[in-house]
Chain A
Amino acid sequence: MGLTASEIVERVRAALPDDIIVATEDDVAEADETKKKAPETIDPFVLAKPESLRKVCEWLCYEPDLRFDLLHCISNIDYPDRNVIQVIYHLDSIRHKHTFTVKVDLDRADPKVESMVPLWPAADWHERESFDLMGVIHTGHPNLKRILCADDWVGHPLRKDYEFPEEYHGIPCGPYVTEYANIPPEHEVWLKEFEAEDAAKRGGPSS
């Protein structure tokens, strides 16, 4: 096994002190709170400044004893209350067998960040998906267009304030809310009896 995530955080802090935000107030509170509860479940990460994300990633990619050669995934989260869209890069090293997470906070009104395609070609589709579903503009991407939704789709579905369209080219769509969600009461009684009987027979947990 290679380095642990905390060791890598220390390395990044020592090498690129000006390019990372140690943590915003929210993150300090959040990380501290969760670390007290369970230090092992929250993976340590680095929050990069948006303008120097490329520099941080390049350093992580080419530093000989880190060598993050595999871009595993690009995730993104919408935080409307903080007015932030967070883009998360999950990195992996095949040579050293360690993983790391780099996050970047973008302005929700104008989420722009540099494309990572020159570093990892794998970023191509991930960034197109990020643009399609969350509306993040990855500047410098060679072919930034929608990948999963139709080309003429309006809006970015994974935003928390996304409103479903009533129809698409005459096809009705929108949130699927119907009366099917209501289980008839007699069915529920039957289900409970069945479950109790089943649990007694098997010796499993009773619900």
Chain B
Amino acid sequence: MIEAGADIRTEEFLLNMGPQHPATHGVLRLVVRTDGELVLDCECHIGYLHRCFEKCAEGNPYTSVIPYTDRMDYLAAMCNNQSFSLAVEKLAKIEVTDRARWMRMATVELQRIASHLMAVGTYGLDVGAITAFLHCFRERERILDLFEEMSGQRLNYSYIVPGGVLYDWPDDMPKKIENFCDQMEVRIREYNDLLSGNGIFIKRTADIGVLPADVAIAWGCTGPVLRGSGIKRDLRKDRPYEFYDQVEFDVPVGRGLHGTLGDCWDRYWVRVQEMSESIKIIRQSISKYSTSTGKYLTTPANKQLRPPKGEAVYHTTENPRGELGYYVVSDGEPIPYRVKARAPSFCNVAVLPEISRGTMVADLVAILGSLDIVLGEIDR
């Protein structure tokens, strides 16, 4: 970090980054107060994608809210479906079979890999490494192919619904997923050669945008952003949902390998390691899936759900971007009385002004990329 020297103070300049700027990952507008190349302060303006998901949810039956959740975090739609379905299942007391749970876990972890591939690839792009982006997208494409075979969709799946999943897997799906896992392990080593150990990449990201652990907690950061600061917190371990208590995996945290703990490189590295952990979970889920029995869906997907009156459920799950929470309130009608979504990116991006003061304008792009935000979820 460079200190603003009192003797070289030049005229302040207000710089508008966005809303149409490739490095803001969507329609985020940053108003940056600069002194030469230094960022003195920055302010985030959000809301360009606002469509009030929460108001829409109040006018739709429970199952019809699922497609809206897809469009929140559109890079991890499966995880959003799962989170909302778990909240509704808890509210309406719907049982899910073991087999459906293992299917869900495998798809959600595949989605986590796809989402992290996007994060890692575009992060390389942000700091000037184009090759890694193409490699990441090749593997992401293969995951989307698998999802297309499962659900018929490539981006907004609406696949995980209250009661299970919408369609059964084709017979050869476990084999295909295992093949993918085999290849993915090789590919992760490839990304490390291309990006993680790349000297230029390390110079652009190490010691940049240092987020101390106490600041991260105070601002409500979760997910890889919090773990990058060295805090070992993962809801899959701490408050297990589905069958995460029956699988073995590690929670990678930042260690400050190339600079200070909690810098951009640490957040990036947590995501790369999480991909390997997800592969472990997928392998275990697939083997458990093969031996488990039961229907893939316990209630028809178009059945009208009427949860009992007055129950409020706040259900949180670990999404690729952090902790997604759904607060669902029922008044006994077939449509929810109130749905509130706690979007992880919404809280993560709020910390940006805090960690970007005193950095260079070019580093601001690196910091924003390392937070890995999705504007569809911030604006809801």
Known contacts A121-B219, A122-B218, A148-B46; A72/B93 CB under 8 A: no
Contact check, A33 vs B54: say whether CB atoms are below 8 A apart.
no
Contact check, A34 vs B311: say whether CB atoms are below 8 A apart.
yes
The yes or no answer to A12 lying at the interface (CB within 8 A) is no
Name the one of B93, B233, B342, B379 contacting A94, with C-beta atoms under 8 angstroms: B233
Chain A, interface residues (CB within 8 Å), range: 35 or more
Name the one of A75, A148, A206 contacting B380, with C-beta atoms under 8 angstroms: A148
Complex A-B: 24 CB contacts under 8 Å:
A34-B308, A34-B310, A37-B308, A41-B91, A41-B311, A42-B311, A72-B316, A73-B314, A75-B314, A75-B338, A77-B329, A77-B338, A90-B342, A122-B347, A124-B350, A133-B52, A133-B54, A147-B46, A147-B47, A148-B50, A148-B379, A202-B167, A204-B168, A205-B299
Taken together as a complex, chains A and B put the C-alpha atoms of A97 and B337 apart, in Å, by 29
Contact check, B231 vs A94: say whether CB atoms are below 8 A apart.
yes
B residues with CB within 8 A of A: 46-47, 50, 52, 54-55, 90-91, 93, 167-168, 217-220, 231, 233, 238-239, 295-303, 308-314, 316, 323, 325, 327, 329, 337-338, 340, 342, 346-347, 350, 354, 379-380
Contact check, A122 vs B314: say whether CB atoms are below 8 A apart.
no
Residue among B300, B312, B323, B329 facing the most chain A CB atoms (10 A cut-off): B312
Nearest to A75 among chain B residues (CB) is B340
Residues of A within 8 Å of B347, CB to CB, are: 122, 125
Taken together as a complex, chains A and B put the C-alpha atoms of A204 and B302 apart, in Å, by 14
**How near does chain A come to B323, taking the closest CB pair, in angstroms?**
7
Known contacts A34-B311, A42-B312; A150/B47 CB under 8 A: yes
Residues of A within 8 Å of B310, CB to CB, are: 30, 33-34
Residues of B within 8 Å of A38, CB to CB, are: 93, 308, 311
The yes or no answer to A120 lying at the interface (CB within 8 A) is yes
Name the one of A30, A72, A78, A204 contacting B325, with C-beta atoms under 8 angstroms: A72
Q: Interface SS of chain B: helix, strand, loop or mixed?
A: loop
Name the one of A33, A120, A202 contacting B220, with C-beta atoms under 8 angstroms: A120
> 5 closest A-B pairs (Cβ-Cβ)?
A122-B220, A207-B300, A73-B342, A75-B340, A148-B47
**How near does chain A come to B50, taking the closest CB pair, in angstroms?**
4
A residues with CB within 8 A of B: 30, 33-34, 37-38, 41-43, 69-73, 75-78, 88, 90, 94, 97, 99, 101, 120-122, 124-125, 133, 146-150, 157-158, 162, 202-207
Known: A73-B327, A157-B52. 17 other contacts (CB 8 A): A33-B309, A34-B310, A43-B312, A77-B329, A77-B337, A77-B338, A78-B338, A90-B327, A101-B314, A121-B218, A122-B347, A122-B350, A148-B52, A157-B55, A204-B296, A204-B297, A205-B300
Name the one of B297, B308, B312 contacting A205, with C-beta atoms under 8 angstroms: B297
Contact check, B346 vs A72: say whether CB atoms are below 8 A apart.
no
Residues of A within 8 Å of B298, CB to CB, are: 205
Taken together as a complex, chains A and B put the C-alpha atoms of A93 and B15 apart, in Å, by 38
Contact check, B311 vs A125: say whether CB atoms are below 8 A apart.
no
Residues of A within 8 Å of B342, CB to CB, are: 72-73, 90
Taken together as a complex, chains A and B put the C-alpha atoms of A33 and B340 apart, in Å, by 24
**How near does chain B come to A88, taking the closest CB pair, in angstroms?**
7
Known contacts A30-B310, A34-B310, A97-B239; A72/B220 CB under 8 A: yes
Taken together as a complex, chains A and B put the C-alpha atoms of A147 and B309 apart, in Å, by 32
Name the one of B91, B168, B296, B340 contacting A73, with C-beta atoms under 8 angstroms: B340
**How near does chain B come to A59, taking the closest CB pair, in angstroms?**
18
Taken together as a complex, chains A and B put the C-alpha atoms of A176 and B209 apart, in Å, by 43
Residues of B within 8 Å of A202, CB to CB, are: 167-168, 296
**How near does chain B come to A66, taking the closest CB pair, in angstroms?**
15
Taken together as a complex, chains A and B put the C-alpha atoms of A30 and B167 apart, in Å, by 38
Residues of B within 8 Å of A133, CB to CB, are: 52, 54
Taken together as a complex, chains A and B put the C-alpha atoms of A73 and B52 apart, in Å, by 17
Taken together as a complex, chains A and B put the C-alpha atoms of A38 and B311 apart, in Å, by 10
**How near does chain A come to B309, taking the closest CB pair, in angstroms?**
8
Residues of A within 8 Å of B302, CB to CB, are: 207
Residues of A within 8 Å of B238, CB to CB, are: 97
Nearest to A176 among chain B residues (CB) is B56
**How near does chain A come to B226, taking the closest CB pair, in angstroms?**
8
Known contacts A34-B310, A125-B350, A207-B303; A70/B220 CB under 8 A: yes
Residue among A41, A99, A124 facing the most chain B CB atoms (10 A cut-off): A41
**How near does chain A come to B333, taking the closest CB pair, in angstroms?**
13
Residues of B within 8 Å of A158, CB to CB, are: 52, 54-55
Taken together as a complex, chains A and B put the C-alpha atoms of A38 and B167 apart, in Å, by 30
Contact check, A71 vs B168: say whether CB atoms are below 8 A apart.
no
**How near does chain B come to A99, taking the closest CB pair, in angstroms?**
8
Contact check, B313 vs A41: say whether CB atoms are below 8 A apart.
yes
Taken together as a complex, chains A and B put the C-alpha atoms of A177 and B362 apart, in Å, by 46
Taken together as a complex, chains A and B put the C-alpha atoms of A38 and B90 apart, in Å, by 10
Residues of B within 8 Å of A157, CB to CB, are: 52, 55
**How near does chain B come to A187, taking the closest CB pair, in angstroms?**
14
Contact check, B91 vs A70: say whether CB atoms are below 8 A apart.
no
